[in-house]
């Protein structure tokens, strides 16, 4: 009975949660360490192969040893923090605007059939354009490089958030609206007390996907004009043949990406009402 | 048809759904007495839920008028509340939050916190107030829905097969409790049911609806004091009488339909 009256776990959340149902506690920690150990091993072997091949030995800096030395230098001389700050500033801005535009539009698209019918084609069309394809337009349209990059990031974050929200609204049990109206809810109360809590987890699942895409788009976007950020640091290290530093920045990108995803998963769980 | 003595008053109500030719409800005139429990029985698809939703203001009839205590019903209101077959609780809420929802919408929860606590005690959920509603059984969920409907102190409570999804024991208990609440608190209740037992166990009046088009074809007073003993002779006689009435009307209607064809 309770199964039939309350919707079951959505397919979306099942997909996005799949990787989070890892064992917890000591066992989980041990397994994670083993996993990272394997990754490090392959990296180390790769480094050896590169160093021992006369054609590629100039790139020996990619190996873990020199990468961690370079990483330590980046941390101690403080260069890293400014770099991370610039990138995070852009990412958070991109996310902020993605949410500010994506959630309300997503609600309208999900709630009103007419809006959905009108907006579906153009939105699907825009969604299929690679965020990076907007680069020339973005550079023309925005005076500052920072804003141009943020625009590219918004074009990356907007779609998962918008479609995640719309999907969530469409999935709301029609009885929930009926019951709320019956209890005297006005439009604002319907939004605040019913729709927003109902779609919380869909929105955060969208945000999680958005963070993933934005983080991927960020690095090539920072090859553009700017002189700060992780993408710039990579480009700069390449130009100065400092491959240890390049590998160190790659490590940092992976680590921060992982942390952002971790935070998104925490939020997703916090706003998810599905039992279990 | 005295309008003053009744709480729900329906005049010349007909309804035809969009894109349909035949009316689903036809020329319904009813005067439902105040403070009593009126059961509405009829075959599946005859339009009982449709009629109830119209009384609740959730649907507008294509013809006719509904008045509750002097107000014409044009939209939903906390004064006339509907309880659905399905509890439709919001899975992110606790039992208390669910029961308080109507008061929260009305902006009066702060002043009426005690009311919610009392109602939850009354429906036997004292121990579960802080639990998430997903942890509750079907019967417990339906009790939460009942408390939620009663919290706004409706003049009229409309019940659409509220117990049909419950097991027999829980159903019997809740039937007795709801009939008790109706009379203790003087709430006017209109209840749709498929179940003749349920009608005889709970109702003061039974209204019989027929199909194609849905119309009122009969009624029966149940003068039988509470609590009603379901094994008593009186109960069984009433049940047979109602069943007979229902059959008779049904057969007449079938015949009429056959002759028309
Ligand atoms: N929105 C709608 N549009 C068109 N027809 C509808 C609509 N809602 C209900 N109907 C039709 O109206 C008739 C009455 O429906 P209703 O749900 O009121 O029946 P009911 O008496 O409550 O049946 P049950 O006992 O099975 O719950 C049915 O034939 C149904 O198919
Ligand atoms: Mg029905």
Tens digits of per-residue pLDDT, A92-141?
999 999 999 999 999 999 999 999 999 999 999 999 999 999 999 999 99
The residue contributing the CA closest to ligand 1 atom 22 is B49
Q: Where are the beta strands (DSSP E) in chain B?
A: 6-15, 25-33, 37-41, 63-68, 71-72, 80-83, 156-160, 188-193, 205-210, 215-221
Alpha-carbon distance A225 to A135, whole Å? Answer: 11
Residue A3 has pLDDT above 70, yes or no: no
Look at residue B3 in the predicted model and tell me its pLDDT: 42
Look at residue B1 in the predicted model and tell me its pLDDT: 38
Span B28-40, average pLDDT:
91
CA of A60, closest CA in chain B: separation in Å?
55
Residues 6+ apart with CB under 8 A from A139: A145, A148, A224, A225
Look at residue A164 in the predicted model and tell me its pLDDT: 95
Name the residue with higher pLDDT: A244 or A16.
A244
**Cβ–Cβ gap B148/A183 under 8 Å:** yes
Residue B242 has pLDDT above 60, yes or no: yes
**Cβ–Cβ gap A183/B101 under 8 Å:** yes
What does the mean pLDDT of chain B come to? 87
Q: Mean pLDDT: which of A109-123, B5-19, B23-37, B174-188 is highest? A: A109-123
Nearest ligand to the CA of B17 is 1
- Report chain B's terminal Cα–Cα distance, integer Å: 34
Give how far the C-alpha of residue A37 lies from the chain's centroid of Cα atoms, to the nearest Å: 25
B182 located within any domain: yes
Tens digits of per-residue pLDDT, A238-276?
888 888 899 999 999 999 999 999 999 999 999 998 764
Contacts of A5 in chain B (CB under 8 A): 86-89, 138, 141
Look at residue A276 in the predicted model and tell me its pLDDT: 47
Indicate which CATH number applies to the domain containing B58: 3.40.50.300
Residue B195: band (very low, low, confident or very high) from pLDDT cuts 50, 70, 90: confident
Look at residue B2 in the predicted model and tell me its pLDDT: 39
Alpha-carbon distance B221 to B248, whole Å? Answer: 17
Interface A-B, measured as beta-carbon pairs within 8 A, has a size of 78
Which atom of ligand 1 lies nearest, measured to the CA of B42?
21
Tens digits of per-residue pLDDT, B154-185?
889 999 998 887 788 878 888 888 898 888 88
Alpha-carbon distance B52 to B65, whole Å? Answer: 13
**Cβ–Cβ gap B91/A273 under 8 Å:** yes
Of B86, B92, B105, the CB nearest to A184: B105
Residue A1 has pLDDT above 50, yes or no: no
Q: Please, what's the largest Cα pairwise distance for chain B?
A: 62
- For chain A, the DSSP string reads -HHHHSPPPPHHHHHHHGGG----HHHHHHHHHHHHHHHHHHHHHHHHHHHHSTTTGGGGGGSHHHHHHHHHHHHHTSHHHHHHHHHHHHHHHHHHHHHHHHHHHHHHHHH-HHHHHHHHHHHHHHHTS-GGGGHHHHHHH-SSHHHHHHHHHHHHHHHHHHHHHHHHHHTS-HHHHHHHHHTT--HHHIIIIIIHHHHHHHHHHHHHHHHHHHHHHHHHHTTSS-S-SHHHHHHHHHHTT-HHHHHHHHHHHHHHHHHHHHHHHHHHHHT-----
Q: Are B10 and B65 in contact (CB under 8 A)?
A: yes
Q: Could you count the other beta carbons within 10 Å of the beta carbon of residue B58?
A: 19
Alpha-carbon distance B195 to B180, whole Å? Answer: 19
Residue A11 has pLDDT above 50, yes or no: no
Q: Helix crossing, A230-239 with A196-221: angle to 10°?
A: 20
Q: Which residues is B8 bridged to in the sheet?
A: B32, B68
Tens digits of per-residue pLDDT, A200-250?
999 999 999 999 999 999 999 998 788 899 999 999 988 888 888 999 999
Q: Which residues is B215 bridged to in the sheet?
A: B210
**Cβ–Cβ gap B165/A6 under 8 Å:** no
CA of A97, closest CA in chain B: separation in Å?
27
Look at residue A192 in the predicted model and tell me its pLDDT: 95
Residue A19: band (very low, low, confident or very high) from pLDDT cuts 50, 70, 90: low
Residue A23 has pLDDT above 60, yes or no: no
Task: State whether residue A6 sits within 8 Å of chain B by CB.
Answer: yes
Q: Hey, what are B148's tokens?
A: 């939620």
B171 located within any domain: yes
Q: Homologous superfamily of A80-240+252-270 in CATH?
A: MetI-like (1.10.3720.10)
Phi, psi (deg, nearest 5) at residue B7: -95, -40
How far does the centroid of ligand 2 lie from the alpha carbon of residue B46, in Å? 8
B60 located within any domain: yes
Q: Which residues is B38 bridged to in the sheet?
A: B190, B205
Span B135-146, average pLDDT:
91
Segments forming the whole domain that contains residue B41? 3-79+154-260
Q: Which residues is B82 bridged to in the sheet?
A: B158
Percent of chain A surpassing pLDDT 70: 91
Identify the closest residue of chain A to B56 by CA–CA distance: A182
**Cβ–Cβ gap B90/A184 under 8 Å:** no
CA of B92, closest CA in chain A: separation in Å?
5
- Domain total of chain B: 1
Residue B91: band (very low, low, confident or very high) from pLDDT cuts 50, 70, 90: very high
Probe target for ligand 1 pocket from B47, B58, B217, with the most ligand atoms within 8 Å of CB: B47
CA of A205, closest CA in chain B: separation in Å?
17
Residue B124 has pLDDT above 90, yes or no: no
Residue B69: band (very low, low, confident or very high) from pLDDT cuts 50, 70, 90: confident
Residue A2 has pLDDT above 80, yes or no: no
Look at residue A25 in the predicted model and tell me its pLDDT: 79
B10 located within any domain: yes
Residue B244 has pLDDT above 50, yes or no: yes
- For A90-119, the DSSP string reads HHHHHHHHHHHHHHHHHHHHHH-HHHHHHH
Q: Hey, what are A100's tokens?
A: 């500010």
Look at residue B133 in the predicted model and tell me its pLDDT: 95
B136 located within any domain: no
Residue A21: band (very low, low, confident or very high) from pLDDT cuts 50, 70, 90: low
């Amino acid at each position: 009975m309770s199964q039939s009256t309350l919707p079951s776990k959505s397919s979306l959340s099942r997909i996005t949660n799949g990787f989070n149902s890892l064992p917890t506690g000591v066992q989980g920690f041990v397994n994670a360490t083993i996993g990272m150990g394997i990754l490090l091993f392959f990296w180390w072997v790769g480094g050896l192969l590169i160093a021992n091949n006369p054609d590629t030995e100039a790139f020996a800096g990619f190996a873990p040893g020199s990468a961690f030395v370079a990483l330590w230098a980046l941390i101690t001389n403080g260069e890293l923090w400014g770099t991370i700050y610039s990138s995070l500033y852009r990412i958070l801005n991109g996310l902020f605007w993605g949410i500010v535009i994506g959630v309300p539009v997503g609600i309208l698209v999900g709630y009103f059939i007419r809006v959905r019918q009108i907006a579906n084609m153009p939105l699907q069309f825009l969604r299929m354009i690679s965020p990076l394809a907007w680069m020339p337009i973005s550079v023309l349209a925005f005076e500052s490089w920072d804003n141009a990059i943020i625009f590219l990031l918004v074009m990356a974050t907007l779609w998962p958030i918008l479609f995640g929200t719309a999907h969530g609204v469409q999935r709301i049990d029609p009885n929930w609206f009926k019951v709320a109206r019956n209890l005297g809810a006005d439009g604002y109360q319907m939004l605040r007390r019913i729709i927003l809590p109902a779609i919380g987890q869909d929105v955060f699942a969208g945000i999680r996907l958005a963070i993933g895409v934005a983080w991927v788009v960020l690095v090539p976007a920072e090859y553009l004009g700017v002189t700060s950020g992780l993408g710039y640091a990579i480009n700069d290290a390449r130009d100065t043949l400092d491959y240890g530093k390049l590998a160190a920045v790659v490590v940092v990108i992976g680590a921060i990406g992982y942390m952002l995803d971790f935070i998104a998963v925490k939020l997703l769980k916090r706003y998810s009402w599905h039992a279990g | 048809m005295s309008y003053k003595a009744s709480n729900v008053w329906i005049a010349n109500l007909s309804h035809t759904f969009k894109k349909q030719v035949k009316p689903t409800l036809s020329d319904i005139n009813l005067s439902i007495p105040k403070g009593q429990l009126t059961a509405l029985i009829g075959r599946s698809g005859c339009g009982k839920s449709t009629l109830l939703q119209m009384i609740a203001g959730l649907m507008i009839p294509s013809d006719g008028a509904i008045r509750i205590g002097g107000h014409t019903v044009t939209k939903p209101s906390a004064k006339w509340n509907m309880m659905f077959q399905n509890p439709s609780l919001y899975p992110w809420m606790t039992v208390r939050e669910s029961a308080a929802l109507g008061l929260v919408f009305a902006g009066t929860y702060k002043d009426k916190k005690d009311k919610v606590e009392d109602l939850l005690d009354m429906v036997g959920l004292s121990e579960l107030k802080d639990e998430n509603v997903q942890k509750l059984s079907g019967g417990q969920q339906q009790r939460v829905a009942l408390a939620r409907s009663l919290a706004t102190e409706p003049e009229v409570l409309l019940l659409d097969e509220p117990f049909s999804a419950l097991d027999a024991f829980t159903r019997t208990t809740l039937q007795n409790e709801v009939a008790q609440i109706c009379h203790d608190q003087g709430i006017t209740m209109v209840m749709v049911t498929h179940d003749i037992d349920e009608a005889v166990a709970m109702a003061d009046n039974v209204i019989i609806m027929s199909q194609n088009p849905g119309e009122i074809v009969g009624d029966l007073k149940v003068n039988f004091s509470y609590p009603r003993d379901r094994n008593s002779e009186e109960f069984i006689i009433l049940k047979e009488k109602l069943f007979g009435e229902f059959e008779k009307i049904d057969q007449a209607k079938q015949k009429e339909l056959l002759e028309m064809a």
